[in-house]
Amino acid sequence: MKSDDRRALTGYDRRVYALMNRREGASLHATAARRRTAVGTHIALTAAAIACWLGSVLGEARWATFGLLALLLPWCLATGIINGATRGLLELRTRALDERQRAERDRVASLAHRAMMWLLLGTTIAVGCAGLAGAGIEGLVFPVLFSVFVVHWLMPLWVAGLTAADEPVDDVAFDEAAVH
């Protein structure tokens, strides 16, 4: 980022940029396998949270509310790991990104859009088949729509986490290792 662009950033932009580029947790997302694990964990926690929320709203189960509260902290940690892996690609405002990051954000949005299209097609076919088979789909409308909404909201984060590239190797550390 150029110094002229840096001055155009607000205090909020600078704080979020600094937060998203902290290196303390870099080992949690240093490899592709760890990033895939973080995204898989996030997907599982999201599915469990959706189930708990739907259970508390539709099933009036009090335990589901406590389950949702128990899932909140691990879900936030997994979100933070993915955001750290992408260096805040989706959290930073456009003016805080350089050209490469803007192109990456567009690529992630395009891939997420394509994945959601196929997910929506599969969901439509599944609900349509259930309706043709005689199953009462009236009870499925809200849970399915809510679940698809949440997945649509989080799909760019998951795609960004899965497609994030490894950090470049530090040349100084590499040179020191080669000398010793």
Which pTM was predicted? 0.82
What angle (nearest 5°) sits at the alpha carbon of residue 27, between those of residues 25 and 29?
85
For residue range 107-166, what is the model confidence (pLDDT) as tens digits? 999 999 999 999 999 999 998 888 888 877 788 888 999 999 999 999 999 999 999 887
First to last CA, the chain: 35
**Residues sharing a CB contact under 8 Å with residue 88, sequence separation 6 or more, in sequence order:** 16, 17, 19, 20, 21
Query: How do residues 68-106 score in pLDDT, each as one tens digit?
Result: 999 999 999 999 999 888 888 888 888 888 899 899 999
Residues 6+ apart with CB under 8 A from 72: 49
* Nearest alpha carbon to residue 119 among 160, 91, 150, 140: 150
Each domain of the chain, given as residue ranges in start order, spans 3-179
